[in-house]
Amino acid sequence: MIPPSAPPPQTTKLRALDLAVAAGLTALLLLAVVNIFLNMSAAGIAPGYGFLVQEAGFDVSESLIPYQPDDTYGRVILTGLVNTIFLAGVCLVLSTAIGVAVGLTSVGPSPLGRVLALGYVELFRNLPKLLVLLVLYVVAVNGLPHVRQAVSLGPVFLSNRSVNFPVPELDATALIPMAVLCAGLLFCVLRSRSRWRKGIVADWKERCLQFAVVLGLPVLCIPVFAVHVGVSVPELKGFDFKGGGRISLQFAIIALTLGLYHGAQIAEVVRGGLQAIPAGQTEAARALGLKRWQVIRLVILPQVVRIVIPPMNNQYVNLIKNTSIAIAVGYSDLMSVTGTIINQTFKPFEMMLITMGLYLGLCTFLTTVLNRFHRRLTERETR
């Protein structure tokens, strides 16, 4: 077999052409910046970021950090950013779970499963995501009951506004069992690692010990330190539920839309990765007596992960950027607060730079982490 021709070796030596291109690009960039500033000063607009400490004066649909309309613009940008990160995180997990499950099904033994997986992938990767979002939203607000007729599943209530559920009500005394829990987890992880290095296989006694340390000790703390344990249950009062936890309908719908949309694309990435593994690997693993699930878990998936990380990286970055469709159905993400701030302060240039910088930073952070992970995996393979 003739090996494929390798790309030319990478060097760090600059050539005349490189320098000319770099100089040209720098000149263009400078021209653009100077032009923008000249035009802005001609229109009487002074660029600046002083507005960030002014009062925002508008509310957001939901926020994970405390926020009031009389907080600053800087604070509302942070609120939008946190909302975007949270939404992206949930979508990332959801789309990966859907993608892996569908990807496995699409090459699985069941013909019905293969057809369903194919249908799902073709449907969701060929529809515009904004359309999917609006359809799901309109169907959900009309299909689900009004808040006064909310469906109750025990203490959990479902309406066309939100899912309301009980949450534990904790005060400062709850920090004690939490600290004990963290310490217990740390202890177990370190212990397992050192035992694993020594080649000791965990038996049931060891598992019981670790379980007791992780769960038993914190529970024991509750009566010992008289920890206050309460539950906040949602209750219909006035216009809406009070108390308990709440997931807004729009959040659930956006997460579902992006989960399904990117799930379809991730399924294709996973299918590609699975099909890149030679059939001989499965046959060899089966010949060694591994069960079907063990073959997948121990032989196939570790290799697939290496193959799919670069295309997944692409998917995840797209997913982060696609969370900006949330603005259509009223989830106060980064794009939503940016738009409102621009309308109020008329600082489009500054706000767009901030928003671009934040998305860029977020995506670059994720790609860097995934690339590092990928490098470690490939290094382990070549070792």
Considering only the stretches 21-29, 142-150, 171-179, 356-364, report the one whose residues sit in contact with other proteins under the rule CB under 8 A.
142-150
Q: Which stretch binds other proteins (CB under 8 A): 17-25, 39-47, 172-180, 266-274?
A: 39-47
DSSP 327: G
Closer to other proteins by Cβ: residue 319 or 329? 329
237 binds other proteins (CB under 8 A): yes
From 166, 216, 272, 339, residue interacting with other proteins (rule: CB under 8 A): 339
Cβ closer to other proteins: 167 or 377? 167
Residue 234 has which token pair? 């949602």
Q: Which is nearer to other proteins, 133 or 213 (CB)?
A: 133
Q: Which long-range contacts (CB under 8 A, 24 or more apart) does 341-345 make?
A: 341/56, 341/73, 341/76, 341/77, 344/57, 344/58, 345/51, 345/54, 345/73
Applying CB under 8 A, which of residues 147, 188, 233, 305 lies at the interface with other proteins? 147
280-309 residues near other proteins, rule: CB under 8 A:
none
Tokens of 58: 């508008």
Q: Any contact of residue 46 with other proteins (CB under 8 A)?
A: no
Residue with smaller CB distance to other proteins, 271 or 347: 347
Residue 97, amino acid: A
By C-alpha distance, which of 215, 189, 216 is closest to 202? 189
CA dihedral 319, 322, 326, 328 (to 10 degrees): -150
Tell whether the torsion through CA atoms of 257, 297, 107 and 279 is positive or negative: positive
What is the number of other CB atoms lying within 10 angstroms of the CB of residue 238?
6
The residue (of 246 and 374) whose beta carbon lies closer to other proteins is 246
Q: Is position 336 an interface residue for other proteins (rule: CB under 8 A)?
A: yes
Q: Which residues would be at the binding site for other proteins (CB under 8 A)?
A: 43-45, 57-61, 69-70, 134, 137-138, 141-142, 146-147, 160-161, 237-240, 242, 249-250, 327-330, 332, 336, 339-340, 342-344, 346
